[in-house]
Amino acid sequence: MPMNTMLTENKVFEKISFRENVIAKGVYEECTFNNCNLNSADLAGITFRACTFNSCDCSLVILNNTTLQDVKFINSKLLGLQFNQCRGFLLRLYFENCMLKLSLFYKLKLKNTTFKNCNLQECDFSEADLSEASFENCDLLQAIFMHTNLEKADFRSACNYSINPEINRIRNARFSIPGVTGLLNSYDIEIEW
């Protein structure tokens, strides 16, 4: 099957429902999607470079072989996304004020990724490289960290995380009190202040 090389540059997509209008396959470069509904849209094989999704519903989109290079998600809903199905080459993401519950980041290289004011409840970060990542004001309730590289990651303003230091790399990661107690949950001990 020949690869579609249609190039769309610097275009603004405003209030479009991609449930009714199928998004064309190809490359989107420096495009902005504002208030668009991409819920359950098929983005397989599409390349997004330096694109921004503002106030979009991207829940359950299909990301098989999708390329996300320097892509920003702001004020968006991204429930149940399987980011691990994206192409890993040059994968670079930024999230701000996003609902990312139940999303999967399994085995991804996400060094220096910013998660700011995000709901990351029940996300799976197993075996991911999140070294130097920032989790500013993020809710990590029941998020899974298993064999995850969290070296130099910043959890100082994050809450509700539970990270087992014996099965995750946390060297030089930053935590604050009382959140640091999330490193002790696996020991089933009681801590009183």
pLDDT of residue 34: 98
In the block, which residue shows the tokens 């509904």?
A: 37
Distance CA 40, CA 59 (A): 6
Domain at 105-187, CATH from 2.160.20.80, 3.30.1360.70, 1.10.10.10, 3.40.50.920: 2.160.20.80
For CA atoms 73, 5, 45, 113, give the dihedral sign: negative
CA angle 168, 78, 169 (to 5 degrees): 10
Q: Reply yes or no on whether the pLDDT at 188 is more than 80.
A: no
Residues of the chain with pLDDT > 70, as a percent, come to: 95
Fold of 1-99: Pectate Lyase C-like (2.160.20)
Given a cut of 60, whether residue 3 has pLDDT beyond it is: no
Nearest to 45 by CA among 108, 89, 3, 94: 3
- Segment 84-108, tens digit of pLDDT: 999 999 999 999 999 999 999 999 9
Cα–Cα distance, 126 to 181 (Å, whole number) = 20
pTM, to two decimals: 0.93
Residue-wise pLDDT for 117-161, tens only, equals: 999 999 999 999 999 999 999 999 999 999 999 999 999 999 999
52-54, strands of its sheet edge to edge: 12-14, 32-34, 52-54, 71-74, 93-96, 114-116, 134-136
- The residue-averaged pLDDT of 42-46 equals 96
